[in-house]
Chains A and B, each alone.
Chain A
Amino acid sequence: MNEQKTEDGQDTVVALDGHQLLPQLVAHLREHRDPLRDEWASRIREAHLLEAMTPQEMAAETTSVYDNYVEVLETGSVEALQHYARDLSERIIPRGVETHEVVGIVLLLRDVLARSLFEKYQRDFPLLNRVLDAYEPAANRIANTVAVSFVEERERVITQQQDAIRELSTPVLPVRERLLILPIIGVLDSERARQLTEQLLRGIRTHRAKVVVIDITGAPDVDETVANHLVQTVDASRLMGASVIITGLSPTIAQTLVTIGVDLSKMNTIGDLQGGLEEAERLLGYRVTRTEADDAS
């Protein structure tokens, strides 16, 4: 497939001229590999790109990128190119590298190499034109492919992380006997709200909980759907014999609940988590007293 690709379309131009020119060009880039790479690296530093990396990492990455780049110029293989781009992305995404940085460094490399070709062939203007005609489309294609691959890879990683977070993000915490805390952190969508409720209900049975504190301080927006879920969670917990205290209810969320017709007087709501825990302990019959030992520590 890749062979076919390189034999038609845009690549034909490269291949035609490249018959004589590309090997020459590639040989030139290989020959001046070290100075060109250093030039590139210093341009990267000047542009404040890839600052998340240490100098050693930079040196290693720029070398490998440079070599790959030249190899792709030489073979013109799309597959190798994509492979290289995905590899690169996989390595640098965890370093916190942003899309603009990746595009930036690839364009810088393109320019550095173009300039070196210009210097080499400037005496023969027609030849220079042909060299650039061969080089530019190939270089642009590399830049393009790298950028696209990077974005795709980034999206994949993000989805993966979201899934992982989702699995981790509904902790039902047994604080003490018969008391559970369910801190809701982050955006609540319908699906997550549902998972949360199911997990809580199972938790109530496992821990034989009598009181549950749901803390929504960390939930930025609670829309109507989520508010409905919240009401359902309270009702379902009650059916299982557990009382629910909701803490961290912002005035906006309280407003939403009232708008959809929730009778807040029937819900046990308390301003902050601390107060909620105290109320929970009261319901469970605990009396919290401060001892001298606690004061001392």
Chain B
Amino acid sequence: MSAGPALVSILRQGDTLVASIHTALDDSEMIRFQNDLVHQIGEHRARGVIIDVAALDVLDSFGSRTLRTIAEMARLRGATTVIVGIQPDVAYAMVQLGMGRMGAHTALDLEEGLAYLSSMRNRRRRAAP
């Protein structure tokens, strides 16, 4: 990636990756983000992925589809994806656009996303033995 303020950041917290998009991304940056994230999911054997899109004022068809793809690829690698921080206006525009179904769990914010992942973990643990 180029110099300057980071467009995205991907942080690891235990078996969870927290990816934040800090600013509007163009399509190729979005694709690069997808590749980076999917790569890191494999590398760190992440079980949970949170994508924080609170900074985005637009999620158009391409953006939505990319998030959907990431969630799908993460699922294939055994990780659960939660998309957090979709703004009210953005949510409204997404359903108008016909992108109302994300194919991933969504949560209000990072805190909620983490709570969801930990509840999933507990459920799995309870189911496992």
Q: A: which residues have CB within 8 A of B?
A: 197-198, 201-202, 204-205, 208, 210, 231-232, 235-242
Given known pairs A205-B108, A235-B100, A236-B100, the reply for A241 and B84 (CB within 8 Å) is yes
Partner of B108, one of A198, A202, A232, A241: A241
Whether A241 and B100, one on each chain, are in contact in the complex, defined by CB atoms closer than 8 angstroms, is no
Cα separation A197 to B109 with both chains bound (whole Å): 20
Whether B108 and A239, one on each chain, are in contact in the complex, defined by CB atoms closer than 8 angstroms, is no
Question: Any chain A CB within 8 A of the CB of B86?
Answer: yes
Partner of B107, one of A198, A235, A241: A241
Q: How far is the CB of B35 from chain A (nearest CB, A)?
A: 24
Q: Please give, as numbers and ranges, the residues of chain A lying within 8 Å of B108 by CB-CB distance.
A: 204-205, 208, 210, 240-242
Q: How far is the CB of A172 from chain B (nearest CB, A)?
A: 12
Q: How far is the CB of B8 from chain A (nearest CB, A)?
A: 20
Whether A201 and B101, one on each chain, are in contact in the complex, defined by CB atoms closer than 8 angstroms, is no
Cα separation A210 to B84 with both chains bound (whole Å): 13
Cα separation A240 to B101 with both chains bound (whole Å): 12
Q: B: which residues have CB within 8 A of A?
A: 84, 86-92, 94-96, 100-102, 106-109, 112
- Which of the listed residues A202, A239, A242 has the most CB atoms from chain B within 10 Å of its own CB? A239
Partner of B94, one of A197, A210, A231, A236: A236
Q: Please give, as numbers and ranges, the residues of chain A lying within 8 Å of B90 by CB-CB distance.
A: 239
Whether A239 and B106, one on each chain, are in contact in the complex, defined by CB atoms closer than 8 angstroms, is yes
Given known pairs A232-B95, A232-B96, the reply for A241 and B106 (CB within 8 Å) is yes
Given known pairs A235-B95, A239-B94, A241-B112, the reply for A205 and B106 (CB within 8 Å) is no
Given known pairs A204-B108, A205-B108, A235-B95, the reply for A240 and B88 (CB within 8 Å) is yes
Q: Please give, as numbers and ranges, the residues of chain A lying within 8 Å of B87 by CB-CB distance.
A: 205
Cα separation A239 to B56 with both chains bound (whole Å): 14
Given known pairs A241-B84, A241-B107, the reply for A236 and B92 (CB within 8 Å) is yes
Whether B84 and A235, one on each chain, are in contact in the complex, defined by CB atoms closer than 8 angstroms, is no
Whether B88 and A238, one on each chain, are in contact in the complex, defined by CB atoms closer than 8 angstroms, is no
Q: Using A197-B92, A201-B92 as known contacts, list a sample of 14 further A-B pairs with CB atoms less than 8 Å apart, ordered by residue number in A.
A: A198-B89, A201-B91, A205-B108, A231-B100, A232-B95, A232-B96, A236-B92, A238-B100, A238-B106, A239-B86, A239-B100, A239-B106, A241-B107, A241-B112
Cα separation A205 to B85 with both chains bound (whole Å): 10
- Which of the listed residues A198, A238, A241, A242 has the most CB atoms from chain B within 10 Å of its own CB? A241
Residue of B nearest to A233 (CB): B95
Whether B102 and A239, one on each chain, are in contact in the complex, defined by CB atoms closer than 8 angstroms, is yes
